[in-house]
Amino acid sequence: MKTRMLLGLALGALALSACTATTTKQAGTPLGADPELRRQNYACANGVNIIVTYDNRAQTASIQTAANGPSTTLSHVPATSGFSYASDTGTLRSYESTGEVMYGVGRSGAPTRCRPS
């Protein structure tokens, strides 16, 4: 009985991670020849433009608010649908099936909706 339960949990976790990885891979356009790296520009409702580099291999998303500016790296967080990344300084989560994301800065900052640009 324990073996079946552990096997079921392992298969469930594998299925969830496969779904998340697939969604992440679809975001943005490939960077060079590496299909694990993708970049997407977003225009946010608060007037900020962000550049997100998704690294599927490292399970991270790096966010820049200016081209060639410093970036903030967020780590992948399991999500029941879409994708989610977070750190102490920000959050990035997919929003519906439109390709939009919700981007938040800091723990108390309200997230803003961002559209692919």
Nearest to 116 by CA among 23, 44, 47, 55: 44
49-80 pLDDT tens trace: 999 999 999 999 999 988 888 899 999 999 98
User: What is the pLDDT at residue 35?
Assistant: 86
Rg of the Cα trace of the chain?
A: 15
User: What is the pLDDT at residue 108?
Assistant: 67
HSE value, Cβ hemisphere, 13 Å, CA-based, for 63: 24
* Own/partner pairs, 75-79, CB within 8 angstroms, 24+ separation: 76/20, 76/24, 78/16, 78/17, 78/20, 79/20
Residues of the chain with confidence (pLDDT) below 50: 1-25
User: What is the pLDDT at residue 24?
Assistant: 42
Domain boundaries, the chain: 2-116
User: What is the pLDDT at residue 17?
Assistant: 45
User: What is the pLDDT at residue 107?
Assistant: 67
